[in-house]
Chains A and B, each alone.
Chain A
Amino acid sequence: MPFIPHTEQDVREMLVTIGAPSIDALFDEIPASLRISGLDGIPEGLSEMEIGRLMGERARLDGRPLSFLGAGAYEHHIPSAVWTITTRGEFYSAYTPYQAEASQGTLQLIYEYQTMISSLTGMEVSNASLYDGGSAVAEAALMAVRAHRKSKSLRVLVPQTVNPNYRRVAISTAGNQGLRFETVAYRREDGCIDREALAAYAGEDIAALVIQQPNFFGQLEDVDALTDWAHEQGMLVIAVVNPTSLALLKPPGEWGKTGADICVGEGQPLGVPLSSGGPYFGFMTTRMEYVRSMPGRIVGRTVDLDGKQGYTLTLQAREQHIRRGKATSNICTNQGLLMTAATIYMTLIGPQGLSKVAAASMQRSDELVEALTQVKGVRAAFKGPRFHEAVLLLDRPASAVLRELEAQGILGGLDLSGDYPELGSALLVCATETKTAGDLARYAAALGAAVQKVRAA
């Protein structure tokens, strides 16, 4: 029996101990009318050899195209040691460290993670992770409303330059509690938040402004001015950042005169494989003054009975297993193992390495834009500084061009026509340190051919 160790003799003797005639008799409290006789719709079981063959076939169907997709999930080199250690049974098959004495490994690792991610974002404290970047934005909005000392407003400004899926997740998650998310337009020349559109909200009672840096288009926002403006209006500032970029970009804790109030983001770039969208993890850091409003697990360092240093879950009075209906969030199990991978990644890559990953990604992305805009009918959508993504405008429908590229084994980027129809035919493209000069040249040549083919059709 797969994964069940009992011999027939075990079963017989165990039933004698219980005083039951059969295993079936152990279910005699369930009304007979509800019992089922079997699961006919489930296929026969497979041996490990057979499932290995099946999964190999399925994986081959997915292929390994050359991808220039980003838009919130980024291809980076992952050191071999990251997942070798992360999948050790002692991390992989443990649970939430409720029994602190038997979980010091996980607890110390979370404490080290909190230190690294707080420093990277320039904030004072961190939790142990949230589900993903999108749900982290939703939790940050709920937290801002909760933590705001002067305003009871349920309004949160989410500019169009924030990842549209993050806005969708925020609405699905926080809309039920009455939060309202209002959009702010962007400037066509540089793809950044339109300050004039924002100014229309001056003097209004609003809980928070969300600022994504680099923004969804890859452009760099003027975060200092935006932060100071929001604070002057009495809004809290929620920063949404790419952790890789923070090796080179000013951390949210230093934005404007006093820094952002809550910082969140998608942790995937830190050693987590793309894997069709998950599991990833969301990170959240904040100022010490808001720590009691933060959702999720938090680890603190303390001492044991002998005065020896040790680690434990702390501030649990915020959480659902203590506060039930009055908790800061319903979050319980979330993305511990991914936070583990990220901690090992940040350790192996180090401060220098992360700067190099960020710099190489910027270089490759610049070279990509340079090469692609040589193609007739292709131009950059926005001026101004960028990180490692860019929007390209095509003079032919992006969807048709992407199909041609796909036939050449290339995923050419994200078609923005659904979320940003005003841009016309637009592609969001990304290149990171994993791309070679040969990869870029291959894309440029294929794009030239694809645009020509679509034009001819």
Chain B
Amino acid sequence: MNQILEKSIFEYSRAGRSAHAQQPPGADVASAAQKIPAALRRRTAPMLPEVSELDAVRHFTRLSQLNFSIDTNFYPLGSCTMKYNPKACNQYAMLPEFLARHPLAPDTQGQGFLSCMFELQEMLKEVTGMKAVSLNPMAGAHGEFAGVAMIRAYHRARGDLARNEIIVPEAAHGTNPATATMCGCIVKEIPVDAQGDVDLDALAKAVGPNTAGIMLTNPSTLGVFERKIEQVAKLVHGAGGLLYYDGANLNAILGKVRPGDMGFDVIHMNLHKTFSTPHGGGGPGAGAVGVSARLEPFLPVPIVGREGDHYRWLSEADRPQSIGRLSAFMGNAGVLLRAYIYMRMLGREGMSRVGEYATLNANYVMARLRQAGFDLAYPERRASHEFIVTMKRQAKELNVTAMDIAKRLLDYGFHAPTTYFPLLVPECLLIEPTETESRETLDGFVAAMASIMAEAQADASTLKTAPHTMPVRRLDDVRAAKQLDLTWKPVNSAA
């Protein structure tokens, strides 16, 4: 990896230099400014770089080279489903007509795009077993928000106003309790048992007349399938609550079992995980939501409807009970197109193979790491599409932590698994290989893990001071938070 850091784009800047070909011809800045009342005019130019096109291209290309990515490295980041993003999905979502279409263009000028969206809704219904789908939410957490807001709206519409508690297992993603709070609900956390299943006794005590619903990920964030899901559904429904399915781990069961059949009333799907749209260094995602029949009236708008051969957006007028609009326009439309292309390329059989091979790869890596002497958090259980290794023993015996392993893996060219999540397993590594990785890559990862373990036994300092080959070594996070430096400033500036 390149050891030389790339300087700031502002350090390339020279007054008067520009990427001239990018500027509109014939623009008269002075006369435009004259039309703006003096008090409303900008007085000093913004600090944007003044560079040539080549300067910009070289700088950002170099920055890209400082990243690990799926295209360059195995990226077994648990709970994130970092599978290959097929190039066709990007190319055909970026056809000029799709890119140029204005969001407020009439439906008649968008039948191609809208037909893709309608078919995407239909396919998502099929793979999840839900009755209806809205594509509007723009990420997983946004979908969660829509889901919990629908649960609230449902209870309110029935005059069931006391139901404001959302039950969340302690292993849940942080977004679950944060979402419940954003929806004005109270969060009740419940424990899981030693085998990773929800503690039914605790659940039975937690449900009651105030229960709005429960948020569950299945397979759970512990990397195991929630075996008591039918009893959970019965308990929560029996108490008058609804079941929310966090689709973060849908990849594990695609084509094998459907949330709708498990008794869930509302789900969100992370299209950037299961349906392979890019993670983009932190988005854009897409968090489509699916619902059972009783929640359909509350789906966020817009939704694509079909009338004969014509597709159109359904809005507030069509869905008066809708929880409303969560984006200014139509959600992350271009991401949805990518998911559509991916699903059409996989088709019926390809979709069923996703869950199978994701599970095969995870169980294979789990078996091999166990052979190599690593401790599993749930050794009696099958892995779903991911599993947890705990470094609790090594932390005590060798003084190496999960973080040390994670950082050392970078030196071997592997992105680290998710560390310290879920919070209830000490010193954990959550490992998700995905179905798109070959056996050779998985074997290479296992070999790296075994080699790191041998290093830890020989001289732990190799791990404690890792990484050694990245553009930077471990960063001072405390300094970052205490001496906030959030924007670049010229060296001579007083600030």
Contact = CB atoms under 8 A, between A and B. Distances in A.
Please say whether chains A and B are actual partners in one complex: yes
Interface in A405-449: 406, 411, 414, 433
Nearest to A101: B470
A259 to B, nearest CB: 13
B373 to A, nearest CB: 15
Nearest to B119: A43
Contacts of A126: 486-487
Interface residues on A, range: 35 or more
Contacts, number: 700
27 contacts: A6-B439, A26-B360, A31-B229, A31-B230, A36-B256, A61-B112, A67-B102, A72-B329, A73-B104, A94-B69, A106-B67, A108-B8, A114-B486, A114-B487, A168-B325, A172-B326, A275-B98, A279-B138, A279-B334, A314-B480, A315-B481, A323-B174, A325-B177, A331-B139, A351-B45, A385-B40, A433-B24
A202 interface: no
A377 interface: no
A246 B73 CA distance: 40
B72 A90 contact: yes
A91 B10 contact: no
A250 B40 contact: yes
Nearest to B285: A333
Interface stretch (A193-201, A229-237, A339-347): A339-347
A101 B410 contact: yes
Nearest to B111: A61
Nearest to B54: A81
Contact of A411 (B106, B346, B485): B106
B252 to A, nearest CB: 9
B120 to A, nearest CB: 11
A416 to B, nearest CB: 11
Interface in B406-441: 406-407, 410, 415-416, 421, 435-439
Interface in B107-158: 108-113, 115-116, 122-123, 125-127, 129, 138-142, 144-145, 149, 152
B184 A95 contact: no
A338 B102 CA distance: 17
A306 interface: yes
Nearest to A172: B324
Given A172-B324, A278-B330, A332-B141, A354 B48 contact: yes
B367 A17 contact: yes
Interface stretch (A203-211, A291-299, A389-397): A291-299
A352 B18 contact: yes
B359 to A, nearest CB: 5
Nearest to A288: B484
A34 B310 CA distance: 36
Given A45-B349, A274-B99, A330-B145, A248 B33 contact: yes
Given A108-B6, A176-B184, A304-B472, A266 B48 contact: no
Contact of B348 (A44, A276, A346): A44
A148 interface: no
B210 interface: no
Contact of A355 (B29, B62, B96, B99): B29
B82 to A, nearest CB: 6
Contact of A51 (B92, B99, B126, B300): B92
Nearest to A167: B325
A85 B64 contact: yes
B383 to A, nearest CB: 8
B132 to A, nearest CB: 14
A88 B46 contact: no
B18 A31 contact: no
Contacts of B224: 29
Nearest to B469: A101
Nearest to B108: A406
A213 B351 CA distance: 47
A106 B283 CA distance: 12
Given A59-B97, A105-B65, A279-B138, 14 more contacts: A5-B436, A10-B438, A36-B261, A95-B279, A95-B282, A99-B415, A275-B98, A276-B103, A277-B333, A278-B333, A300-B486, A325-B187, A351-B47, A354-B48
Nearest to A78: B99
Contacts of A359: 27-29, 31-33
Interface stretch (A130-138, A181-189, A368-376): A130-138
Interface string B44-74: 0111111101001101111111111111110
A168 B70 contact: no
B69 A279 contact: no
A172 B323 contact: yes
A102 B67 contact: yes
A112 B9 CA distance: 7
Interface string B257-291: 11001100000001010001011111111000000
Given A93-B85, A95-B77, A131-B138, A169 B328 contact: yes
Contacts of B85: 92-93
Contacts of B100: 64, 67, 75, 273-274
A414 B180 CA distance: 37
Contact of B472 (A13, A26, A101, A169): A101
Nearest to A349: B22
Contacts of B68: 94, 99, 102-103
B480 to A, nearest CB: 4
B139 A334 contact: yes
A228 interface: no
A177 B366 CA distance: 43
A134 B325 contact: yes
B46 A357 contact: no
B303 interface: no
B178 A330 contact: yes
4 residue pairs, one from A and one from B, having the closest CB atoms = A45-B347, A89-B71, A277-B329, A337-B280
A140 interface: no
B70 to A, nearest CB: 4
Contacts of A160: none
A435 B118 CA distance: 33
Contact of B484 (A15, A248, A266, A300): A300
A153 interface: no
Nearest to B347: A45
A99 B418 CA distance: 9
B465 interface: yes
B194 interface: no
A262 to B, nearest CB: 16
Interface string A307-332: 01111101101011111111101111
Interface string A7-24: 000110111011110011
Given A85-B60, A304-B472, A360-B24, A334 B32 contact: no
B26 interface: yes
B327 A135 contact: yes
B177 A324 contact: yes
Contacts of B56: 81, 344, 347-348
B468 to A, nearest CB: 10
B281 A303 contact: no
Contacts of A104: 5, 63, 66-67, 470-472
B102 A75 contact: yes
Given A42-B127, A276-B113, A34 B257 contact: yes
Interface stretch (B234-242, B337-345, B389-397, B447-455): B337-345
Contact of B36 (A248, A279, A319, A321): A248
Nearest to A273: B99
Contacts of A98: 77
B352 A38 contact: yes
Most buried by A among B39, B113, B253, B363: B363
Given A4-B435, A5-B436, A249-B40, A95 B82 contact: yes
Given A60-B97, A62-B111, A168-B324, A89 B348 contact: no
A101 B474 contact: yes
A59 B98 contact: yes
Contacts of A248: 29, 32-33, 36, 41-42
Interface string A37-58: 0111111111110011011111
